[in-house]
Amino acid sequence: MDNIKIGTRASKLAVWQAKQVQTLLQKINISSSIIKIKSRGDKDLSKPVYELGVTGVFTKEIDLALLNNEIDIAVHSLKDVPTKLPLGVIQGAVLQRGSELDVIIPSNTLKSKENTIATGSLRRKAQWLNRFKTDNIVEIRGNVQTRLKKLKENNWNGTIMAKAGLERLEILPEDYQELNWMIPAPAQGAISVQNLTINPSITKMLKQINHVETEICTNIERSFLNKLEGGCTAPIGAYAKIANKSIVFRGVLLSAEGKEKIEINEVEKLENIQGLGERFAKKIISLGGDKILNSLKG
């Protein structure tokens, strides 16, 4: 196959992810080049992601380049990808997942109460405030390096970030703390590769670099998200893993300020995974999730 054009955002982390795909393609004797594309989510750093008003703020421009045949495949952080893909686009592969965890990077000592914590994520904000009711949340946007820089420049007590990105760029500070209690964004830590349905040869090629276990788990998390109508506008967390031939799942839905929370912990046999994410979402709804979702719409 000729030189495959890989489309990606221009941030260091996005390019790192594209290079991972490039390396895997190299192993199956496919040459490729990386095309950097600026996304709307990168251009508008003044607003939190959930206020930008479109799904796929980090993926839209790259998807357009794919649909216009300017690139052959698109590489995204899977947690940024809308649960409904554009018509004609499929997920050709998902790479083996990195850490799914959120971490807090303290800038100075975290106090027993009334900390100021920076995050641009509705999910992180709601879960943090649910646990630490007297803390204050401030908005922060930008790539990984920008957010670490802003943390140093401001009088905040800490910022919450995905561990995977910091590890991939080898800039995870020594004083980080893992937030094992915080349920991650659906598909956090996973890298998605997309292509057009009309290119079966590329679909076949990408199948060779797909990590099946990650694909199964992230599919469950994303169908859970899809059923709860979550995009960037609802505080929803989901994490699935495979253990002892079973799916172990944690899911959460919260109100915007974290006052209300519905969390589930489920174990289901692997052979019963058909429609599993949707079933878990229905359980959240039946436990009062519909009321939270309606309040969020309001």
- DSSP strand pairing (4-9 vs 73-77): parallel
- DSSP strand pairing (89-94 vs 73-77): unpaired
Using DSSP, how many helices (H) and how many strands (E) does the chain show? 10, 13
d(C-alpha 295, C-alpha 289), whole Å: 10
Contact 190/78 with Cβ under 8 angstroms? Answer: yes
Within 8 A by CB and 6+ apart from 141, the residues are 45, 46, 47, 48, 49, 120, 147
Active-site position among 63, 72, 80, 102 = 80
- Burial (CB < 10 A; 0-12, 13-18, 19+), residue 250, is middle
- In single-letter form, the type of residue at position 152 comes to K
CA distances from 54 to 49, 232, 233 (A): 9, 9, 10
Within 8 A by CB and 6+ apart from 74, the residues are 6, 7, 8, 59, 62, 63, 65, 66, 89, 193, 194, 195
| Active-site residue flag, 80 | yes
Q: Where are the alpha helices (DSSP H) in 154-241?
A: 163-168, 200-207, 212-227
User: Count of CB atoms within 10 A of residue 239's CB?
Assistant: 24
Three-state secondary structure call for residue 128: helix
139 DSSP assignment = -
Backbone φ, ψ for residue 164 (5° rounding) = -55, -45
Active site members: 80
